[in-house]
């Protein structure tokens, strides 16, 4: 089957993945079904959001939050969300394979 296949994802400092200097790297097999399994609260949804943001430049689910749910430090641009004492830089690399 021809198309674009997600091959590799590297995430650093995005939402719940605060690992500055040590990116989370996921190597996926384009010819297989890939899954991510982990306990609740460790960042599975942040991985998905990072991939969506890398491809589209947006995080729609976060942009649509009601104002009451957005704290004073909220930013829907992940690289701008930071604490003044602990700035976070965001680095996302998504690699595709075309067959």
The residues spanned by each domain of the chain are 4-98
Predicted local confidence at residue 40, as pLDDT = 92
Q: Are strands 4-12 and 91-98 parallel, antiparallel or unpaired?
A: antiparallel
pLDDT at 34 over 70: yes
pLDDT digits (tens, 9 = 90+) for 18-32: 777 888 899 998 888
Predicted local confidence at residue 82, as pLDDT = 44
pLDDT at 6 over 80: yes
Does the reported pTM lie above 0.75? no
Evaluate the CA torsion angle 91, 48, 8, 2 in order and state its sign: negative
């Amino acid at each position: 089957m021809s198309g674009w296949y997600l091959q590799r994802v590297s995430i650093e400092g995005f939402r719940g993945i605060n690992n500055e200097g040590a990116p989370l790297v996921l190597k996926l097999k384009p010819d297989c079904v890939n899954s991510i399994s982990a306990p609740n609260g460790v960042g599975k949804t942040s991985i998905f959001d990072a991939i969506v943001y890398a491809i589209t430049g947006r995080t729609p689910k976060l942009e649509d939050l009601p104002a009451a749910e957005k704290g004073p430090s909220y930013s829907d641009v992940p690289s701008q969300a930071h604490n003044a004492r602990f700035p976070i830089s965001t680095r996302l690399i998504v690699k595709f394979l075309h067959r």
